[in-house]
A and B are shown apart, each in its own frame.
Chain A
């Protein structure tokens, strides 16, 4: 465990020292804040129109503003993450291999899994830190909504983001372990994510067996439930399994570094 902590600590230190992390987190927060603002404005406008219409017909307004805003917000954020996380993970292994420090790690009494898990947990921690400020938007929303907003939605939404994030980070780390070049790692990550996204596109509305399989593999399909306040155990299992699978592949890649020509 001590080795795991040592690696985790070092990784976190590097994230705070590297400009990339600050830039990515900064851009993410600016964009997510912008979209939150946009979404909030649009939905309030829509709800005003809706309540005017329902007053005409003598019906009570039934637009769940906070719920809708959060749903849209989570949706947009997940999309944002798809673009931002590859930049966070591209250097995780590639930079070490380039700098020769991978050799240090692999000739020290540290197990490969300790390296992989330590790095993954650090990237996940950074991810959580990146998401933390967005809680302000939710708190703001909830303080100002009447009647009270659904807490369940908030929790499930962030859980969904966390699970999605862990898959993205695991895929990104794996891509980084394949190359010494950070940019190539980022490109590979985008490629994989694009393929998964396209699978989702092509699988929408499909009714055949293959269609159902493709739908299951799609990252975003499982995520939608979380945004609606539904925590589906099969989706949970999906995300965790996918993450573990990517971590396993990374472990294999790290081991294979020993077999490549110097």
Chain B
């Protein structure tokens, strides 16, 4: 649905977007993750036809965003970082205007405006002047305008910023509900958001792509394996030996818990193997007291910090 190849955007000498390539499949939700200034907004502006690229190509639904800009614009809904609102207008009037310029046929306009108000949960604000609304409601009006013409592709730039926690959850639900029938790109610097709502993640930094994958794969890829956490009571040396005997275990780290003889054990396992049952069997079989056992996924937070603060040239051997 969306194909980006070697996309580049330079402002003078500065490359805001530097040869990035990625695709988004129909019905997918792609997360664009990166710190401020990474190039997320610039990329979105290129996709929506607001900025022309310096190099590379971008296609939406098979149409080039520069050569066939009109075709692309008909098929996308876009919510910029600051929602583009006419403060003097009422919510309903504003959505009517947006529906008109998005080429919604006159007969369908009323229905689609109702639908958009409903989806953004602002039906009761229809006659309210936009300038009177709170930040959170303004954001929702912005969301409504991106949806009013039922576009195939929806591009959201930091859609949950400025919302309170309840509203954030609602918006994420809304976005997840739109997947399948719509293709969505959303950008954010809120890490949990990406693992919660997105099918795949593009991590971008300094205009370059640092990683593209599902949230789960990224986790596995980075750490090169799984970690297993144990809460077990046992003498230290025998415990260490026993754990080391389980096939697939690479490293064992034991942390004493108080003086009770219990240990918090963190075990690094080779990738692709789930050895939890073997470890459980081994521990219990040796007569140790097992209190807790669970697998630990490296959270996306740690990936992010690692990817964007680490200098690839100095990356230590895994």
Contacts of A111 in B (CB 8 A): 70
Tell me the residues in window 91-105 of chain B with beta carbons closer than 8 Å to chain A beta carbons. Answer: 93, 97-98, 100-103
> Is A103's CB under 8 angstroms from B50's CB?
yes
Instruction: Assess whether A143 is interfacial by the CB under 8 Å rule.
Output: no
| With known contacts A14-B88, A101-B85, A262-B45, A110–B50 Cβ distance under 8 A | no
**Distance of A27 from chain B, by nearest CB (Å):** 21
Contacts of A18 in B (CB 8 A): 88
B84's nearest neighbour on chain A, judged by CB, is: A104
> Is A106's CB under 8 angstroms from B50's CB?
yes
> Is A262's CB under 8 angstroms from B51's CB?
yes
Instruction: Assess whether A45 is interfacial by the CB under 8 Å rule.
Output: no
> Is A107's CB under 8 angstroms from B76's CB?
yes
Contacts of A261 in B (CB 8 A): 11
| With known contacts A2-B100, A3-B100, A13-B89, A262–B41 Cβ distance under 8 A | yes
B86 CB contact (under 8 Å) in A10, A110, A262 = A10
Instruction: Assess whether B145 is interfacial by the CB under 8 Å rule.
Output: yes
> Is A109's CB under 8 angstroms from B42's CB?
no
Contacts of B83 in A (CB 8 A): 100
> Is A101's CB under 8 angstroms from B86's CB?
yes
Contacts of B78 in A (CB 8 A): 104, 107
> Is A101's CB under 8 angstroms from B88's CB?
no
Instruction: Assess whether B87 is interfacial by the CB under 8 Å rule.
Output: yes
Question: Number of residues in B with C-beta < 8 Å to the partner?
Answer: 31
> Is B100's CB under 8 angstroms from A109's CB?
no
| With known contacts A106-B50, A107-B49, A258-B52, A100–B88 Cβ distance under 8 A | no
A104 CB contact (under 8 Å) in B11, B74, B76, B98 = B98
Tell me the residues in window 1-19 of chain A with beta carbons closer than 8 Å to chain B beta carbons. Answer: 2-3, 6-7, 9-10, 13-14, 17-18
Q: How many A-B residue pairs have CB under 8 A?
A: 71
Instruction: Assess whether B48 is interfacial by the CB under 8 Å rule.
Output: yes
Tell me the residues in window 32-91 of chain B with beta carbons closer than 8 Å to chain A beta carbons. Answer: 41-42, 45, 48-52, 70, 73-74, 76, 78, 80, 82-89
Contacts of A106 in B (CB 8 A): 49-50
How far does the alpha carbon of A18 sit from the alpha carbon of B49 in the complex, in Å?
Answer: 30
| With known contacts A99-B84, A99-B86, A108–B101 Cβ distance under 8 A | yes
Instruction: Assess whether A140 is interfacial by the CB under 8 Å rule.
Output: no
> Is B87's CB under 8 angstroms from A258's CB?
no
How far does the alpha carbon of A262 sit from the alpha carbon of B45 in the complex, in Å?
Answer: 9
| With known contacts A13-B89, A262-B41, A107–B48 Cβ distance under 8 A | yes
B103 CB contact (under 8 Å) in A17, A99, A109, A262 = A109
B11's nearest neighbour on chain A, judged by CB, is: A261
**Among A6, A100, A108, A111, residue most surrounded by chain B Cβ atoms (within 10 Å):** A108
> Is B50's CB under 8 angstroms from A17's CB?
no
> Is B88's CB under 8 angstroms from A109's CB?
no
How far does the alpha carbon of A183 sit from the alpha carbon of B254 in the complex, in Å?
Answer: 69
> Is A103's CB under 8 angstroms from B101's CB?
no
How far does the alpha carbon of A212 sit from the alpha carbon of B145 in the complex, in Å?
Answer: 54
How far does the alpha carbon of A107 sit from the alpha carbon of B97 in the complex, in Å?
Answer: 14
Q: Mark A97-125, 1 if CB is under 8 A from B, else 0.
A: 00111011111111100000000000000
**Distance of A151 from chain B, by nearest CB (Å):** 41
> Is A104's CB under 8 angstroms from B145's CB?
yes
A259's nearest neighbour on chain B, judged by CB, is: B52
Contacts of B93 in A (CB 8 A): 13
Contacts of A101 in B (CB 8 A): 84-86
Contacts of B97 in A (CB 8 A): 6, 9-10
| With known contacts A10-B86, A100-B84, A109–B41 Cβ distance under 8 A | no
Contacts of B52 in A (CB 8 A): 258-259
> Is B84's CB under 8 angstroms from A109's CB?
no
Given contacts A2-B103, A17-B88, A18-B88, 17 further A-B contacts (CB under 8 A): A2-B100, A3-B100, A3-B101, A10-B86, A99-B86, A100-B85, A101-B86, A103-B80, A104-B78, A104-B98, A107-B50, A108-B73, A109-B74, A109-B101, A258-B51, A258-B52, A261-B11
Q: What are 15 pairs between A and B in contact, CB < 8 Å?
A: A2-B103, A6-B97, A10-B97, A17-B89, A99-B84, A99-B85, A103-B80, A103-B84, A104-B80, A107-B48, A109-B103, A111-B70, A258-B51, A259-B52, A262-B41
Interfacial residues, chain A to chain B (CB-CB below 8 A):
2-3, 6-7, 9-10, 13-14, 17-18, 99-101, 103-111, 258-259, 261-262
